[in-house]
Structure 1
Amino acid sequence: MNMFSGATARVALRARTRSTLRLPTKMSMRKLHEFFVVVRDRPGASRENIHFDLQPPFYTFAGEILNAAAPMGPGSDTTILGNAFACVARDENEVRTKMKDSQYYKQGIWELSTVEISPLETVHPGKPPL
């Protein structure tokens, strides 16, 4: 049995949801959208000594695109083809601008002519109510 009832439960849930999602304050509020991005590596680009810098708050999810669903490591034929990530920005132009701040771009790994940017709607559930 739930220890909250009626209006009390709604207020408790609303307070928990706001704190879990960390909604922007009025001072920082601006129209932000989520995007899903796929970008391929330049042919022959080396990922040796690259520092993984696809971190929040701009990047909300990031991973590498592989040529096969197989473990990577010594003796493996699996190679990295590029990156896929989700990010938060005002528009596609801001996504492209932020990508140019990444070590992947600065070190000549990403081939920006291959970038695919799509609007994204994800679910960010908070903790379940008590």
Structure 2
Amino acid sequence: MPSSVEPARSAGHHTTGPPGPAPAPATPGDGSNRVIPFGRRPTRTGRGRRTPQPAQPERVVAPVDSPQQRLAEDVEAWFLAHRATLTDESAAHVYRTTLDFLQLMLDSSHAEQRLNADEHQHLTGMMRLLRDAPDAL
């Protein structure tokens, strides 16, 4: 019965592959040479000029001091004061769901003529801005 204990290898012996016989070297043209070099690619052409690199797209940044951004920061400050954040997807989902329900209440109040058209339009506009707050963070 073979022993389950392997003899220790000498300190100077390092293996570079799996145990067993070494694979036969590939001969040119036999289709077995499938090595992909991962070394550093030169960025210069034969005459010392750099090869053209693809242009990096410019980063588009939203205006920092827009009214929508300030509103989003105010809403986020309110949430942070209550130990929550709108950058958390589940909190943002609950926030939006609540605003959707409030919009339904506004629509119902308008349908029952408890809000006139101008009041309904004004409050609906405010709700839309509030609903977009998590996207501005």
TM-score (norm 2): 0.22
| Higher Rg | 2
Q: TM-score, normalised by structure 1?
A: 0.22
Q: Higher relative contact order by CA 8 Å / sep ≥ 6: 1 or 2?
A: 1
Q: Name the one with the larger helix percent.
A: 2
The structure whose residues are more often strand, as a share, is 1
